[in-house]
Amino acid sequence: MLVQVAKDSDFTIHNLPWGIFSVPGESPRVGMAIGDQILDMVAVAELELFDFDVSVFYEDKLNPFIALGKSVTNKARTQVQGWLKSKDSPLAGKPELFVPQAEATMHLPISIGDYTDFYSSIEHATNVGRMFRDPENALLPNWRHLPVGYHGRSSSIIESGVPIRRPKGQTKPPTSDTPIYGPSKRLDFELEMGFVIGKDSELGQQVSTDEAEDYIFGLALFNDWSARDIQKWEYVPLGPFLGKSFASSLAPWIVTLEALEPFRTAGPAQDPAVLPYLASRGPANYNIQLEVGITPKNGTEQVVSRSNFGYMYWSMRQQLAHHTVNGCNVRVGDLMASGTISGKDESSYGSMLEISKGGKQPFPMNDGSTRSFLDDGDTVTMRGWGEAGDIRVGFGEVSAEILPASPE
């Protein structure tokens, strides 16, 4: 190996995720994470080792690279993997190809066209349905028949590390007959996984569950911030709007779908059976462990949730097949998010709404304070990784601090 990689590193030789980085005085460009280093793909491009147009590595977003297609991008990743493993490789003896991650700034890795948010964890949908609607009929009649989703804003998807300003808006407290205006009092995170579309489909074309994985370039951690009080008042009848659109945070590293192959697993059994266009063969989920930590201002981090991407009721294949069943086309750089990923038990809930039971059971923090929802000054950090035998592939983290609402 040309780079020493710690055993517990997210960025092992099995991973090699893609991102956009910069160092002081240089423009953002494509890089690949290995251990605690970034392989500068512009520097690699200048070695003239690739047989495709390497100008894509000089871009400040991954879209042009992704648009080359999996036959090119997977081959490039596999080639680099081979070179990193070999002392006789063209990358050997060239420390200038590597940049320590600690010295680099990471940027939003893709230019996001459209953003779709699903609602595909049965545990999350059940928990929220109990609180927002009817405890006896928590899941609406459509939920087990189709992956429910809505079209979100891409303009407010920001890179990890950018602070989030507490949103303001209209809410109607239960004690009031009329709505009030002000900062959200129920600011929340949503633990999600996003997937990036790697291939255009045509208007009118359906992408089948068999074809879907060919359209998925890779995955990244995603925190879909939510203002529960704004959401609760506004969401009927057309669904989420301003309680969601103020910000979502995307992790800097896109882990390729191919790197996740060792973690492929079957999702939960679907009952009733799905319509034929949603049926899919073989395991379609991924066993990715997830965790969420909250760090109070000047405090230490406390993990508030441990969940798993493998819990999803609806797979990415099914989400994409459903998304395109009406002929809606998808484009390179579109982002699809899983929806909040909750598990069965209370330690695996993917939002404060569920962890605190809608605010009724505040979560005890190590410093003696409690959290029903997020406080100003809190930093929320999400991590994810798969482990199979000696193989570890991680997603790094997505993290952001909550700033107070802007003055009136």
**Which CB atom, from 224 or from 229, has the smaller least distance to Ca ion?**
224
User: In whole angstroms, how close is the CB of 117 to Ca ion at the nearest point?
Assistant: 4
Give the list of residues 6+ apart from residue 351 with CB closer than 8 angstroms, or none: 124, 188, 189, 190, 191, 226, 340, 342
Among candidate residues 14, 107, 124, 322, the one labeled active-site is: 124
DSSP classification of residue 326: T
Q: State how far the Cα of 77 lies from the Cα of 166, in Å rounded to an integer.
A: 39
User: In whole angstroms, how close is the CB of 192 to Ca ion at the nearest point?
Assistant: 6
Closest CA to 194 of 224, 214, 153: 224
Site for Ca ion in 224-283 (CB under 5 A): 224
State yes or no: is 107 an active-site residue: no
User: In whole angstroms, how close is the CB of 241 to Ca ion at the nearest point?
Assistant: 13
User: In whole angstroms, how close is the CB of 382 to Ca ion at the nearest point?
Assistant: 13
**Which CB atom, from 18 or from 189, has the smaller least distance to Ca ion?**
189
Q: State how far the Cα of 399 lies from the Cα of 408, in Å rounded to an integer.
A: 27
Using CB under 5 A as the criterion, what x/- string covers residues 151-190 for binding Ca ion?
Answer: ---------------------------------------x
DSSP classification of residue 361: S
DSSP classification of residue 282: S
Q: State how far the Cα of 206 lies from the Cα of 211, in Å rounded to an integer.
A: 9
User: In whole angstroms, how close is the CB of 225 to Ca ion at the nearest point?
Assistant: 9
User: In whole angstroms, how close is the CB of 216 to Ca ion at the nearest point?
Assistant: 18
Using CB under 5 A as the criterion, what x/- string covers residues 190-209 for binding Ca ion?
Answer: x-------------------
**Which CB atom, from 12 or from 348, has the smaller least distance to Ca ion?**
348
Amino acid at site 72:
V
The stretch among 76-84, 94-102, 111-119, 297-305 that binds Ca ion (CB under 5 A) is: 111-119
Using CB under 5 A as the criterion, what x/- string covers residues 65-104 for binding Ca ion?
Answer: ----------------------------------------
User: In whole angstroms, how close is the CB of 224 to Ca ion at the nearest point?
Assistant: 4
DSSP string, 133-188: S-STT-S-TTTTTS--EEEE-STTEEETT--EEPPEEEE--TT-SS-EEEE-S-EE
CB 117 within 8 A of CB 337: yes
Residue nearest to Ca ion (CB): 224
Size, binding site for Ca ion by CB under 5 A: 3
Beta bridge partners of 297: none
Give 103's Cβ-side CA count (13 Å radius). Answer: 11
**Which CB atom, from 63 or from 223, has the smaller least distance to Ca ion?**
223
Site for Ca ion in 116-135 (CB under 5 A): 117
**Which CB atom, from 107 or from 232, has the smaller least distance to Ca ion?**
232
The stretch among 58-66, 110-118, 169-177, 205-213 that binds Ca ion (CB under 5 A) is: 110-118
Q: How far is CA 180 from the centre of its chain?
A: 33
**Which CB atom, from 11 or from 143, has the smaller least distance to Ca ion?**
143
Task: Spell out the alpha helix ranges (H) of 196-300.
Answer: 209-212, 228-234, 242-245
Using CB under 5 A as the criterion, what x/- string covers residues 214-233 for binding Ca ion?
Answer: ----------x---------
User: In whole angstroms, how close is the CB of 234 to Ca ion at the nearest point?
Assistant: 15
Give the list of residues 6+ apart from residue 91 with CB closer than 8 angstroms, or none: 2, 39, 44, 47, 80, 83, 84, 97
**Which CB atom, from 130 or from 264, has the smaller least distance to Ca ion?**
130
Give, for 294, the enclosing helix (H) or strand (E).
Answer: strand 289-295
CB 17 within 8 A of CB 218: yes
The stretch among 89-97, 115-123, 207-215, 294-302 that binds Ca ion (CB under 5 A) is: 115-123
**Which CB atom, from 226 or from 308, has the smaller least distance to Ca ion?**
226
- The residues that touch Ca ion, with contacts defined as CB under 5 A, are 117, 190, 224
**Active site residue ranges:** 124
